[in-house]
Structure 1
Amino acid sequence: MTTLLYWLDPWEPSPTVVIAILVAAVLFARGARHARVSISRRIAFWAGLSALYVALHTRLDYFFEHEFFMHRLQHLVLHHLGPFLIALSYPGAALRAGVPFEWRRRWLRPASQTRVARMMFDIVFNPVIALTLFVGLIYLWLLSPIHFKAMLDYRLYRVMNWSMVIDGLLFWWLVLDPRPAPPARLAPGRRILVVIAAIPPQIVLGAFIFFTPRELYPIYSICGRAFTWITPMRDQQIGGLLLWIPGSMMSVIGALIALRHWLRLSARARLRQESKPGRRIQTCGMPSSSCTPDEATNPNAP
């Protein structure tokens, strides 16, 4: 128990991380009592949220700051695994149900229906922009000069980590949405294309880092490495492999899940479903789209 508490003790305490994780946990726990959330979806949500906490707010953060391959492992969790599991749980209805009804009526619903909010959602959930941000942020933070500054400045370091989390949530939410379009933002076939398009750039960057014969990220040698028995070049090669193989494989898995949703919707003849005139549409509680009351609580409903 002492050893576990030691590793759970944050290397650099952050109230922002604690508050964000706690709010998400409370809303989901409250809402899951009212919305229909299966056991598998509950497990996926809690696993994803726990993964984000471990990657952001434990003693492991010391190793993330002092070893390149550990840093890549951290971002694999923040940008891929954690958001992927949360999106896979489709928690929108539960999170919305967790907000007190009066707050939803007075603040949440009007705010989500403003022109500014709709424009912002249209921008971040545009497939081209979503793909560009997903791949572009990986490249941005791995540019040697920017990476050097981010690992020295704790404020920029936290901006880097949070940008990966937020972008990962937006991207995987867009890709793994199990509903037809509308109410989903993208048609099932386009979701598959978007996630497949994210694979080649990750392979190219991972291969470049792996095969480069010089040290790209000397900041780890300057500040001191956590594992002195690993040479700088070996550390860099392992980091490149983590981006090259596991990062790309997550996109492959995402494409397979999107394909499964496509086949399921096709079998139920829901691919071209349109809203009937006068049919009331209810917001799901997440900014990506809106849905009917039945779809809000059960994305697999026929």
Structure 2
Amino acid sequence: MQWLSFFVPWEPSAPLVLVIALAGWLFARGARRHCIKAGRHVAFWSGLLLFYVLLHTHLDYYAEHQFFMHRLQHLGLHHLAPLLLMAAFPAEVLRGGLPLRWRRMTRTVGRHPLWKRTTAVTMNPFLVTILFIVAVLFWLVPSVQFVSMLDWRIYHAMNWSVAVTGLMYWALILDHRPSPPARMRPGGRVMSPIVTMVPQILAGAVITFTERDLYPIFDLCGRAFFLTPLFDQSLGGLIMWVPAAGFEALGTLIALRHLMRLSQTPRARQRVSRFRPAGPVAR
């Protein structure tokens, strides 16, 4: 049973455990009120569990001592875990898990002009898209990577920035509603992942084919596996290049499915109204 030691926290974090536990508790309560489908349950709990594994187990240790594991961690934090969570459309379910007084309070706050202006800025599609790309590329700058791996505060800021921007971005892309109330148009949701994957593919290709060690910090920290620095670096670049682009493509397909559904809805209504009786005939 030695494999269970993998799930022992490498660096215990009470705030992280509290956030994950609170999210799970609210979703479980809200799911009883909304009676959601099994697929949304699977998506939410898989994403939440993945966040825990990525941030609060020994995987974090390996991410500090091996470049390709570091890229795997960020692939999960930036792409897979947020994509799974947002595919569950959790906002209303989480709100439904709040006590009645708090639900009324959130409704009041949500209608306040200040809140609307704030979210209009922070969730602006252009801004969120830029932050999503920057959160990947900025931390890959060798000098920035060097400092972030030595200072635990910067290291945690790096991981949280990657996770938060991932949640913000995939919340926009996987929104299944028409626009408005969704902040991004359905066509934009389809095209955006195609745009954002390009700089990540280019960065991954550069890292993969570079023939010098860009990240000697992992030698300084001590590598966890017997891999040469260049092989480790090439694996990390490939992870950025191929799997990350694959998750972006998956997001595009989900957004395309929503676009097709939304484009068919008005036609379906027209077909129904066309065959609906006009009413009683006057005699």
Pair 1:219 & 2:217 matched: yes
Matched, 1:194 2:183: no
Counterpart of 1:153 (choices 151, 154, 166) is 151
Fraction of identical pairs, as percent: 47
Answer whether contact 1:180 1:187 (CA < 8 A) is retained. Answer: yes
**Equivalence map 1:283-294=2 (5 Å):** none
Confirm or deny that 1:59 pairs with 2:93: no
Q: Aligned residue for 1:207?
A: 205
Q: CA deviation at 1:7?
A: 1.4
- The CA deviation string for residues 235-275 of structure 1, in whole angstroms up to 9 with x for no partner, is 0000000001111111111111100111111111289xxxx
1:249 maps to 2:222: no
Q: Which residue of 2 aligns with 1:259?
A: 256
What SS does structure 2 have at the residue aligned with 1:34?
Answer: helix
Distance of 1:248 and 1:117 partners within structure 2: 34
- Residue-pair matches, total: 268
1:189-228 residue CA offsets vs partner (Å, 9 max, x unmatched): 011121211011111110111111111111000110000x
Q: TM-score, normalised by structure 2?
A: 0.91
Equivalent in the alignment of 1:290? none
Runs ≥4 residues deviating over 4 A: none
Alpha-carbon distance in structure 2 between the residues aligned to 1:195 and 1:270: 28
Distance in 2 (alpha carbons) for counterparts of 1:216 and 1:32? 47
The Cα shift of 1:4 comes to 4.5
1:115-138 CA deviation, whole Å, 9 max, x = no partner? 443223112322211111111110
* Contact 2:133 2:199 (C-alpha < 8 Å) held by counterparts: yes
Aligned to 2:181: 183
SS of residue in 1 equivalent to 2:34 = coil
Task: Verify the 8 A CA contact 1:78 1:161 in the aligned structure 2.
Answer: yes
Matched residue of 2:33: which SS? Answer: coil
| CA–CA distance in structure 2, aligned partners of residues 101 and 270 of structure 1 | 38
Partner residue in 2 for 1:29? 28
Residue 237 (structure 1) aligned with residue 237 (structure 2): no
Question: Does the 8 Å CA contact 2:44/2:84 hold for their aligned counterparts?
Answer: yes
CA distance in structure 2 between the partners assigned to 1:138 and 1:91 by the alignment? 25
The one-character-per-residue Cα deviations of 1:134-191 (angstroms, maximum 9, x if unpaired) are 1111011111111111111111111111111111111001000111112211121011
2: CA distance between counterparts of 1:7 and 1:116? 45
Confirm or deny: 8 A CA contact 2:64 2:149 kept in the other structure: yes
TM-score normalized by the length of structure 1: 0.86
CA distance in 2, matches of 1:128, 1:210: 29
**Residues in 1 aligned to 2:109 and 2:95: alpha-carbon distance in whole angstroms:** 14
8 Å CA contact retained: 2:40, 2:87: yes
CA contact (8 A) 1:127 1:194 kept: no
2:77 maps to 1:78: yes
1:163 aligned to which of 161, 165, 177:
161
Distance 1:234 1:244 in 2: 15
Gaps of at least 5 residues in structure 1 are 272-302
* Unpaired stretches in structure 2, ≥5 consecutive residues: 269-283
Q: Which residue of 2 aligns with 1:287?
A: none
Q: Secondary structure at the residue paired with 1:32?
A: helix
Distance in 2, Cα, partners of 1:139 & 1:104: 38
Q: CA RMSD in A?
A: 1.4
- SS across alignment from 1:198: helix
Amino acid at match of 1:226: A
